[in-house]
């Protein structure tokens, strides 16, 4: 059993003893802490909290616990049921609510679930707010309502409202998509994507849809993280149908992977690159991605004479940098598209609509569009150290050693060489340094990563 308490939410495996898994007592405790925090730090006059969930097997049980705890704290609950993460984020603002809770463990396997906590803007809480909720939970510093002030619950479906919000975006060209007469394959890993993606595609004018794993029963047919090694089935479907493009989402639909017409992977890192290319072509402006994302976004941004900025890893850090730089598009290299014209949250519905608009207007195949971008490969490695070693001191020494290069230290240490980069981040839970490196070939990426790893090992002696 596992229970991971972090500033971004509470994640754990279902069951186990108190404090060892995400069980009913721990769920109620953390929801109560969140409710008390919102009550004391209200951003609006609203007494509403929105609750949405993915299709995990544990979802209904978690939903009942969360809704009950919020009502007990005196909040009225808008329960939107089975809904994507971006749908829940949008529902918070559409309801003018004081916050929201998303029940999803994102790409984690079926035994996991989580509480993702939102503010009144439908955005994830920042580090300071998350730390305060963890403190309140440990101290059991809660405020509950008396019998005359218990909350009420209403149930609503926000899927069609989310789809309409996507259709209303200026750069979503429904007529061009209809005219292109695309055939589209989708893999929704038997979660909420199976509800929303067919409806979205139909609304965009796509009538030929090849569905794979679209029954929202939480029985994931493969590892739900949309990585190439988990996507063999849709790759085969692309080769055995006339599909022009394939889309794969994770269980809560905030990550988007694209499959080429020949069954090859477009590359999760390039989801953001392609969508940004389309957005920048029509609305030039700044872009943002986290330090561990591909340099290809920077290259595409500069092609349009615009400015790229890196952020620390984590969606809340990306959105903060996007606001600071007035970015028109941003996100993360794991297939997370953040488009401020819609909202500040990763949204695969927005990503699909913008990519199909791009594909329709370019009049190229998906593989041809992919080939038009700079080719990069990312290698992911790690250095294991002994517990007594001062990891921060090693990172500082690496920074000094490579001070002649372009170095960024807002999140670990990233060294930008002219044609490659290496990003070093320490783990918060174990004595290791994660080493991400990128170059024009995988061999070069692994080699430069290996060179920096050798420096770390030498410094650790």
Tell me how many domains the chain contains: 3
Residue 43 pLDDT level (bands cut at 50, 70, 90): confident
Residue 1 pLDDT level (bands cut at 50, 70, 90): low
One domain, residues 41 and 134: yes
Question: pLDDT at residue 58 above 90?
Answer: yes
- Give me 373's structure tokens: 């971008």
pLDDT of residue 322: 98
Boundary-marking domain end, from 355, 371, 387:
371
Torsion angles phi and psi, residue 256, rounded to 5: -130, 125
pLDDT of residue 387: 86
One domain, residues 119 and 177: no
Question: pLDDT at residue 4 above 90?
Answer: no
Question: pLDDT at residue 186 above 80?
Answer: yes
Question: pLDDT at residue 121 above 80?
Answer: yes
Average pLDDT over residues 41-69: 95
Between residues 2 and 53, which one has the greater pLDDT?
Answer: 53
What is the C-alpha to C-alpha distance for residues 13 and 111, in angstroms, rounded to an integer? 5
CB 456 within 8 A of CB 383: yes
232 burial via Cβ count (<10 Å: 0-12, 13-18, 19+):
exposed
Residue 21 belongs to domain with CATH number: 3.40.120.10
Torsion angles phi and psi, residue 195, rounded to 5: -85, -45
Q: Is the dihedral of CA 66, 69, 71, 74 positive or negative?
A: negative
Residue 143 pLDDT level (bands cut at 50, 70, 90): confident
One domain, residues 130 and 179: no
CB 284 within 8 A of CB 306: yes
For 197-236, the pLDDT digits (tens) are 999 999 999 999 999 999 999 999 999 999 999 999 999 9
Question: pLDDT at residue 9 above 90?
Answer: no
For 63-83, the pLDDT digits (tens) are 999 999 999 999 999 999 999
One domain, residues 400 and 272: no
**Other beta carbons within 10 Å of 211:** 16
- Which of 8, 91, 103, 104 lies closest to 48, judged by CA? 91
One domain, residues 288 and 192: yes
One domain, residues 131 and 183: no
For 403-439, the pLDDT digits (tens) are 999 999 999 999 999 999 999 998 877 788 999 999 9
One domain, residues 354 and 384: no
One domain, residues 86 and 214: no
One domain, residues 96 and 190: no
Question: pLDDT at residue 101 above 80?
Answer: yes
Mean model confidence pLDDT for the chain: 95
pLDDT of residue 7: 67
Instruction: Please spell the DSSP secondary structure of 347-397, one letter per residue.
Output: -HHHHHHHHHHHHHHHTS-HHHHHHTSPP-EEEEEEEE--TTS-HHHHHHH
Tell me the percentage of the chain whose pLDDT exceeds 90: 91
429 burial via Cβ count (<10 Å: 0-12, 13-18, 19+):
exposed
One domain, residues 406 and 290: no
For 341-389, the pLDDT digits (tens) are 999 999 999 999 999 999 999 999 999 999 999 999 999 999 998 888 8
pLDDT of residue 6: 76
Residue 442 belongs to domain with CATH number: 3.30.310.50
Boundary-marking domain end, from 304, 336, 371:
371
One domain, residues 321 and 180: yes
Question: pLDDT at residue 182 above 80?
Answer: yes
Boundary-marking domain end, from 323, 353, 371:
371
| Domain containing residue 196 | 162-371
- Give the range among 37-51, 152-166, 176-190 with minimum mean pLDDT: 37-51
For 440-450, the pLDDT digits (tens) are 999 999 999 99
One domain, residues 141 and 244: no
Catalytic residue positions, numbered: 106
């Amino acid at each position: 059993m596992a229970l991971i308490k972090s500033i971004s939410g509470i994640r754990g495996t279902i069951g186990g003893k108190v404090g060892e898994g995400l069980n009913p007592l721990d769920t109620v405790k953390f929801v109560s802490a969140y409710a008390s925090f919102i009550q004391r730090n209200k951003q609006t006059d609203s007494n509403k909290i929105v609750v949405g969930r993915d299709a995990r097997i544990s979802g209904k049980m978690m939903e009942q616990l969360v809704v009950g705890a919020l009502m007990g704290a005196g909040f009225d609950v808008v329960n939107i049921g089975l809904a994507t993460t971006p749908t829940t984020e949008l529902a918070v603002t559409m309801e003018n609510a004081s916050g929201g809770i998303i029940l999803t463990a994102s790409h984690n396997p079926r035994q996991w679930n989580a509480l993702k906590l939102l503010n009144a803007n439908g955005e994830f809480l920042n580090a300071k707010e998350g730390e305060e909720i963890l403190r309140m939970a440990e101290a059991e510093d809660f405020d509950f309502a008396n019998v005359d002030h218990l909350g009420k619950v209403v149930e609503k479906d926000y899927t069609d409202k989310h789809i309409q919000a996507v259709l209303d975006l200026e750069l979503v060209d429904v007529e061009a998509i209809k005219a292109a007469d695309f055939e589209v394959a989708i893999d929704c890993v038997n979660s909420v994507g199976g509800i929303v993606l067919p409806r979205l595609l139909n609304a965009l004018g796509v009538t030929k849809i090849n569905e794979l794993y679209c029954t929202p029963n939480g029985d994931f047919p493969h590892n739900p993280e949309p990585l190439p090694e988990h996507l063999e089935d849709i790759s085969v479907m692309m080769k055995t149908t006339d599909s022009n493009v394939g889309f794969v989402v994770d269980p809560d639909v905030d990550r988007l992977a694209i499959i080429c017409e020949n069954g090859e992977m477009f590359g999760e890192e390039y989801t953001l690159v392609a969508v940004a290319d389309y957005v920048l072509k029509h609305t030039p402006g700044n872009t943002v991605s986290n330090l561990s994302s591909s340099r290809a976004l920077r290259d595409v941004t500069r092609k349009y004479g615009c400015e790229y900025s890196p952020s620390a890893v984590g969606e809340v850090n990306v959105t903060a940098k996007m606001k600071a730089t007035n970015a028109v598009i941003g996100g993360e290299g794991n297939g997370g598209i953040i488009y401020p014209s819609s909202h500040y949250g990763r949204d695969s519905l927005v990503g699909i609509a913008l990519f199909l608009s791009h594909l329709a207007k370019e009049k190229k195949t998906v593989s041809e569009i992919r080939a038009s971008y700079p080719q990069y490969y990312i290698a992911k490695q790690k250095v294991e150290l002994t517990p007594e070693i001062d990891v921060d001191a090693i990172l500082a020494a690496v920074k000094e050693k490579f001070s002649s290069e372009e170095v960024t230290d807002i999140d670990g240490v990233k060294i930008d060489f002219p044609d490659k980069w290496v990003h070093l981040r320490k783990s918060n839970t174990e004595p290791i340094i994660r080493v991400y490196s990128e170059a024009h070939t995988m061999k070069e990426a692994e080699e430069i990563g290996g060179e920096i790893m050798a420096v770390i090992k030498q410094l650790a002696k």
